[in-house]
Structure 1
Amino acid sequence: MKTKTVAVIGAGVAGLAAGIHLAQRGLDVTLYERAGRAGGCCTTTESDGYVFNDGAMYLAIPAILDAGFARLGMDRAALLPLRRIERMQTSTFDDGSAIRFGVGGALDAQGAGLDGRADALRAELAQLVARWRELYDVLTGDIIVRPLSVPRLLAATWRHLPKLAGTVGKELARHIADPKLRAALANVTLYTGLAPARTPAFQMVGTMAMLLDEFYLPVAGMGAIPAALEQRLLALGGKLVCNAHVQSIDVAHGRAAALTVAGRGTVPYDAIVSTVSGMHTFASLLKASDVPAAMRRKTQRAPLSQRAVSVQFGLRNRIDGVSHFNYRTPLMEQQHRFLDAGDMACLAYTVPTVTAPELARGGGSIIEVYPSIDQSLAPDAWTDARTGEVAQAAQQALAALHPLDVAVRRVRSPRYFRDQMFLYEGAVYGLSPAADSRAQYPHATPIPGLYQAGQTSYPGFGVSTSLLSGIFAAEQLLARA
């Protein structure tokens, strides 16, 4: 059968990329987005002159995004100017001492046990970078930018496999002698929702990206990324339908053949690309009788990422003396406390106006904090009252560190992330960052005519790799068209 019409479920970065790649090949492509606009977890929201991230907070390793844009016929540098995050990270310890990272290897260390030790700490960092640089270059320049091939991965990285076999905690404990420097480096991977002792060593790629000055923001904010992609899609004749609730993927004669869309009925298509989570695709959008047993087991066993409460503040005042990323942190061996619900003594927060002051009106500031919460609670347990209590505790903890003249407070719960951003069970990353490739969903699914992209398909993790996942799914479709 000659493929002419394609439906894409979801208009986040992965869906937009898939749509562009298919439209470039002359296919008739329609994207269905349940929200009122495209962008998914890469959008921003303006409120009273403050621009807040809805999901993704920064861009790591822009060369990966550049590779994806190039494959979509787009000049990333011209369409999406970036700004390097220069005041990178501050980690402050219980005794008031602090380590600060900047660009170009800049490091400042002050306080108990750190005064006069900056040169020694830089030497330790240089040794860590030397240990990981070759593997980092292979992973980011060759492995991640292509569809996953285990033989190619092993051939390219076999000499480095011992590094990848452990955890971030073990890697830092072996190769960084200073306990406070270990903690500051481990803080980089706390976004995974895992303690360093449980974070796979692969996540050292993020630590390396920081040390190699590879963290950026789009000049116009994270929402500029999907905005550029949407413009390209429409210019190619692709169609975008927002406020469109896809209720089911309909299978006929063993092949994905149509979508049922609320208010639009059943619409036939030659092929379908789903960029919602693989769990949602196979547990909710398909009839159980149409799901192969292996995919049913994968979905039932899917290790989900953490849920989150997001508390964002638009401040009238400028917060000085902080970095883009900030941690009030214990030593690495105690960083599991970041995961202990209600422990506001450990605090991780970003101040994006350090890098992009224009995101706040009148010279003010924006602070984003994700306080630790009880991960055993289902999304429905996050009532407004419970969420408000967590938000108030987070505000009090921040107020003890900085003056807060709050103009806008924006609070979102696991229930919000599930119901308003349509994240499966409110899990912010879909699959756990600790999940290995066996938990990922294949781009070409076992159901003919159905393809999967997004956060739960390889590579899928982060903005740039989510974009690549859409391209990879589209390529699989075109190979079978």
Structure 2
Amino acid sequence: MMAGTSVAVVGGGLGGLAAACVAASRGHDVTLYDKNAWIGGKAAVLHEGGFRFDMGPTILTVPRVLERIFAESGRSVHDYMDLRRLDPQWRCFFDDGSRIDLMENVATMAAEMDRFAPGQGAGEGYRRFLALSEHLHGVSEKFFFWKPVQDLFDTIDIRANLNPGTLRDVLSLRMHASVAGTIRGKVRDARLAQMLDHFVQYVGSSPYGAPAVLCAIAHMQTADGVWYPMGGTRAVAEGLMKLAGDLGATLKADSEVEGVAIENGAVKGVRVGGAVVPYDRVISNMDAVRTYRELVGGEVGRTYEKRNFEPACSGVVLYLGLNKRYDHLAHHDFVFSRDPEEEFDAIYRKGEPAPDPTAYLAAPSSTDPSVAPEGGEALYVLVHTPYLRPHHDWSQMLPAYRQKILDKLKRTAGMPDIEERIVVERHLTPADIHSRYKVLNGAIYGLASHGRIMGAFKPGNRSREVRGLYLAGGAAHPGPGMPMVMMSGWIAADALDRDASGTAEDLKAAS
């Protein structure tokens, strides 16, 4: 490695923290900047009235990503955080009053699906779906994960890999098919298909527009489990912060990076407080499109913005402190819409809040009693909405939509007295998310994964436009969701390290 390589990480979300840890583990001199008063990005925490709420992501899957990040420095993630496996993974409430739990064990789940929808072969269909999902996961591990990818040319060396095995893998990605179509080809019951659709909600996209390769998420969750870090998702950010500090990285909150200093197409530093602080390389954990538009700027920024990336969905989050918990809720719950096509059409095509939305609930007190006063609940409610449109004024829209959400919980989730139980209430709207996290148009999950062929691709982790610039986070490869965001940080730091040491197999992307 080149001696004295200095690295600035812009943004202290989970992707930026992962990048800082890996770069520091490899011996680089790392400084992380975040504009907010806290480090951790969306993995923030709200304390009020004796309740503790995770403000952002709440479902942790694929813990081996965290394990690999900590292993870079010979450490164990389990020395930094207490992870608890959850089963059932979700509890599902449907509009017709039926319920089913998503269980980790495939045989148990298949048998339960046959009981739930008798005579339809649902269990066998689920097994066939998971077999396909496992295959797609394997192909993703081979071609997409743990490497800086922007398009097909980054995944496959045509001259070296154009062989029958590779061709079979590429064809098996089912580039002609959507997630929804693939699921319904295996599982005919509309309710069970709706449940399986929601794996793709981890990436904030419509199952009707997302490519079938994203069905791989189902196997990733089934094989690796759903986990809860005691103390909430904030414990993941704090564990990464401690690791970064142990490795000598400097973390600076309340320090907004105003731009990336560039000379002759290469990074020279970052602008902070009106002055340029020199760095050899920069990793941006800010939204990829906003990185080019606001930090890089100039002709490069204008050209990049013309690519017309589609933001993923946004959301309304209600943080409800309840004086009495609901014993029939699991840790994670989905309260499904009456009609998924109507719901996704409203959000992703019409760009309007769904008339009858799906609500995701996190009710963590059964796992972690410290989140609420005794007998209470720190209830997290997330409803996906369109990304911000010019005519959306959420200061005016929120009251009516809040009531629509609460009415949905009363009607479908068995919570008729929820308003009487609320003693603490706070919220985030798409407008709040846009300003708080510097994401594109309030999108929670970065960029949408729509398009049968290119929907799985995001902006690459090694910039092709600026030498020495790298991208991490939900709007960079491999995309959103906690494990993928942290993997993006690992990839960005690994690409940086390879470039710094001159060991990258293909440096043309950085030249």
TM-score band, normalised by shorter chain? 0.7 to 0.9
CA contact (8 A) 2:25 2:247 kept: yes
Aligned to 1:363: 375
Aligned to 1:377: 389
Aligned to 2:155: 150
Q: What is the deviation of 1:222?
A: 0.6
1:387–1:177 Cα change, 3 Å: closer
Give the Cα separation in 1 of the matches to 2:197 and 2:38: 36
3-state DSSP class of the match of 1:358? Answer: helix
3-state DSSP class of the match of 1:189? Answer: helix
Q: For residues 84-140 of structure 1, give each alpha carbon's deviation from its aligned partner in whole angstroms, at most 9, with x where no partner exists.
A: 2213333333332333222324449999x9667399533332232233323324535
Q: For residues 307-343 of structure 1, give each alpha carbon's deviation from its aligned partner in whole angstroms, at most 9, with x where no partner exists.
A: 2221221211111223312223336555536738454
CA contact (8 A) 2:318 2:426 kept: yes
3-state DSSP class of the match of 1:221? Answer: coil
1:475–1:345 Cα change, 3 Å: closer
Aligned to 1:125: 126
Give the Cα separation in 2 of the matches to 1:216 and 1:416: 28
CA contact (8 A) 1:65 1:465 kept: no
Aligned to 2:506: none
Instruction: State the one-letter code of the partner of 1:161.
Output: L
Give the Cα separation in 2 of the matches to 1:222 and 1:103: 21
3-state DSSP class of the match of 1:244? Answer: coil
Moved more, 61-70 or 343-352: 343-352
RMSD over aligned Cα atoms: 3.1
Counterparts of residues 14-25 of structure 1 (less than 5 Å): 14-25=15-26
- Residue ranges of structure 2 left out of the alignment (5+ in a row): 501-511
Give the Cα separation in 2 of the matches to 1:185 and 1:167: 13
Give the Cα separation in 1 of the matches to 2:137 and 2:245: 36
1:447 and 2:461 aligned: no
CA contact (8 A) 1:342 1:371 kept: no
Aligned to 1:221: 232
CA contact (8 A) 2:287 2:438 kept: no
Give the Cα separation in 2 of the matches to 1:127 and 1:24: 41
1:270 and 2:280 aligned: yes
Give the Cα separation in 1 of the matches to 2:29 and 2:211: 41
Equivalent residue for 2:216, pick from 205, 230, 238: 205
Instruction: State the one-letter code of the partner of 1:33.
Output: D
1:328 and 2:344 aligned: no
Give the Cα separation in 2 of the matches to 1:361 and 1:433: 40
Give the Cα separation in 2 of the matches to 1:175 and 1:48: 47
1:240–1:248 Cα change, 3 Å: same
Q: For residues 280-314 of structure 1, give each alpha carbon's deviation from its aligned partner in whole angstroms, at most 9, with x where no partner exists.
A: 1111112314x277xx2455422211122212212
Counterparts of residues 35-434 of structure 1 (less than 5 Å): 35-105=36-106, 106-107=108-109, 117=118, 120-140=121-141, 143-148=144-149, 149-151=154-156, 158-159=168-169, 161-165=171-175, 166-212=177-223, 214-262=225-273, 265-289=275-299, 291=300, 296-297=303-304, 300-323=307-330, 324-330=332-338, 333-336=341-344, 339=347, 341=352, 343=354, 345-353=356-364, 354-373=366-385, 375=387, 377-378=389-390, 381-400=392-411, 401-402=414-415, 403-404=417-418, 405-434=421-450
CA contact (8 A) 1:460 1:468 kept: no
1:89–1:450 Cα change, 3 Å: closer
Q: What is the deviation of 1:363?
A: 2.3
CA contact (8 A) 1:303 1:439 kept: no
Identity of aligned residues (%): 24
1:192–1:85 Cα change, 3 Å: same
Moved more, 122-131 or 229-238: 122-131
3-state DSSP class of the match of 1:392? Answer: helix
1:44–1:72 Cα change, 3 Å: farther
Aligned to 1:472: 491
Aligned to 2:507: none
Give the Cα separation in 1 of the matches to 2:58 and 2:472: 21
3-state DSSP class of the match of 1:188? Answer: helix
Q: What is the deviation of 1:239?
A: 0.9
CA contact (8 A) 1:417 1:426 kept: yes
Q: What is the deviation of 1:33?
A: 0.7
Moved more, 311-320 or 298-307: 298-307
Instruction: State the one-letter code of the partner of 2:446.
Output: G
3-state DSSP class of the match of 2:8? Answer: strand
Instruction: State the one-letter code of the partner of 1:317.
Output: K
Give the Cα separation in 2 of the matches to 1:287 and 1:234: 32
Q: TM-score, normalised by structure 2?
A: 0.83
CA contact (8 A) 1:44 1:53 kept: yes
1:58–1:258 Cα change, 3 Å: same
Aligned to 2:505: none
CA contact (8 A) 1:19 1:233 kept: yes
CA contact (8 A) 1:308 1:370 kept: yes
Instruction: State the one-letter code of the partner of 1:480.
Output: D
Q: What is the deviation of 1:369?
A: 2.5
1:7–1:358 Cα change, 3 Å: same
Moved more, 133-142 or 398-407: 133-142
Q: For residues 192-227 of structure 1, give each alpha carbon's deviation from its aligned partner in whole angstroms, at most 9, with x where no partner exists.
A: 444432222122122334444622111221111111
3-state DSSP class of the match of 2:17? Answer: helix
1:26–1:67 Cα change, 3 Å: closer
Q: For residues 327-374 of structure 1, give each alpha carbon's deviation from its aligned partner in whole angstroms, at most 9, with x where no partner exists.
A: 233365555367384545443221332544432221222333333545
Give the Cα separation in 1 of the matches to 2:166 and 2:53: 40
Give the Cα separation in 1 of the matches to 2:328 and 2:184: 29
Give the Cα separation in 2 of the matches to 1:438 and 1:92: 33
3-state DSSP class of the match of 1:170? Answer: helix
3-state DSSP class of the match of 1:301? Answer: coil
3-state DSSP class of the match of 2:313? Answer: coil
Give the Cα separation in 2 of the matches to 1:239 and 1:376: 34
Give the Cα separation in 2 of the matches to 1:189 and 1:29: 34
Aligned to 1:456: 475
Instruction: State the one-letter code of the partner of 2:429.
Output: S
Q: Report the count of equivalent residues.
A: 475
3-state DSSP class of the match of 1:371? Answer: strand
1:133–1:108 Cα change, 3 Å: closer
